[in-house]
Amino acid sequence: MAWVWFHRFGSPPHFYRLATALTPWFGWAAALLCTAGLIGGLVLAPADYQQGDGFRIIYVHAPSAWLSLMVYVVMASSAAVGLVWRMNVAHAIAASCASIGASFTAVALVTGMLWGRRMWGTYWEWDPRLTSELLLLFLYLGYIGLRNAIDDTGRADRASAVLAIVGVVNVPIIHYSVTWWNSLHQAPSVMKFGKPTMVPSMLVPLLVMLGGFTALFFALLLIRARGEVLRRERNARWPVDVPGLTAHEA
């Protein structure tokens, strides 16, 4: 049957084994790509003719901003899967996404502010993209707050899943409304695929960093999701048989 793999994925022991096997792959990919991207971006790429070396913060800022959105989509998708198929593992993944996504959003905000300090002369400018990042952070905080406010895990899962789905419908609306609200600032010029306005020696490290941060996200997600699955399955028998898990207590 075509859907067997899908239902196997929903089984906590199976997911735990899969996540344990995949974590090092993502972890090493993240380490390699981030090292390569940082060398390429901070050493090899030429300084910008207007912004000097200040533009190099983009190699952390843009991947974080990209991930802050992607993590929200991953969170809402797995929350929807959990809601529709009542899949506990999917809820565990959504729960693990929230704080990672909030952290990436915070990193994107802080690096954006540092860049703004140099380019605009002020830490905070009501720039559309920074503002929608800030609202995204509030969405994450609301999700985490709702989850923490409900004691019963099952109900917290389903209620926060509804919130994540409502949020993911709203994220583009918020983004475009903020952009139209303040269209005085420069249009996004950094990441136009098709016709990039960056030279390849600047763009390639950025794409490498994007890949590295994405791998980092999946590595962190798997580690957190493993912990979350174990917490939810603390009364089950199968963790006892996982090699290495109970060795220290024995």
Least distance (Å) from other proteins to the CB of residue 210? 26
Query: Of 4 and 173, which CB lies nearer to other proteins in the complex structure?
Result: 173
> 163 is written with which tokens?
């919130």
Question: Is residue 236 close enough to count as binding other proteins by CB under 8 A?
Answer: no
For the bound state, the minimum distance from the C-beta of residue 86 to other proteins, rounded and expressed in Å, comes to 12
> Token digits for 250?
């024995």
Q: Report CA-CA distances (Å) from 184 to 181, 188, 246.
A: 9, 12, 59
For the CA atoms of the chain, what is the radius of gyration?
A: 20
Comparing CB distances to other proteins, the nearer of 159 and 230 is 159
Token digits for 71? Answer: 């993590």
3-state secondary structure of 101: helix
Binding of other proteins by 239 (CB under 8 A): no
Interacting residue with other proteins among 113, 119, 159, 198 (CB under 8 A) = 159
- The SS3 call for residue 190 is coil
Give the 3-state secondary structure of residue 107.
helix
Residue 158 engages other proteins in binding (rule: CB under 8 A): yes
Q: Is residue 181 a contact residue for other proteins (CB under 8 A)?
A: yes
SS3 211: helix
Give residue 107's identity as a one-letter amino acid code: V
Alpha helices, H only, 120-184: 128-149, 153-181
Residue from 19, 34, 163, 207 touching other proteins (CB under 8 A): that is 163
CB nearer to other proteins: give 177 or 201: 177
Nearer to other proteins, 164 or 219 (CB): 164
Contact range with other proteins by CB under 8 A, out of 8-16, 34-42, 137-145, 196-204: 137-145
* Integer Cα distance of 184 and 127 in angstroms: 9
3-state class of 52 per DSSP? strand
Comparison of 144 and 223: residue with beta carbon closer to other proteins? 144
CB burial class (10 A; 0-12, 13-18, 19+) of residue 26? buried
**Closest distance of CB 58 from other proteins, Å:** 26
Phi and psi at 52, nearest 5°, equal 65, -140
Q: Out of 39, 169, 199, 236, which residue is the one contacting other proteins (CB under 8 A)? A: 169
Q: Is 139 in the site for other proteins (CB under 8 A)?
A: yes
Residue 98 beta carbon to other proteins: minimum distance, rounded to whole angstroms:
13
Decide if residue 199 touches other proteins (CB under 8 A).
no
Q: Kindly give the interhelix angle for 128-149 and 153-181, rounded to the nearest 10 degrees.
A: 170
In the complex, which residues of this chain contact other proteins (CB under 8 A)? Answer: 83, 135, 138-139, 141-142, 145-146, 149-150, 155, 158-159, 162-163, 165-167, 169-170, 173-174, 177-178, 180-181
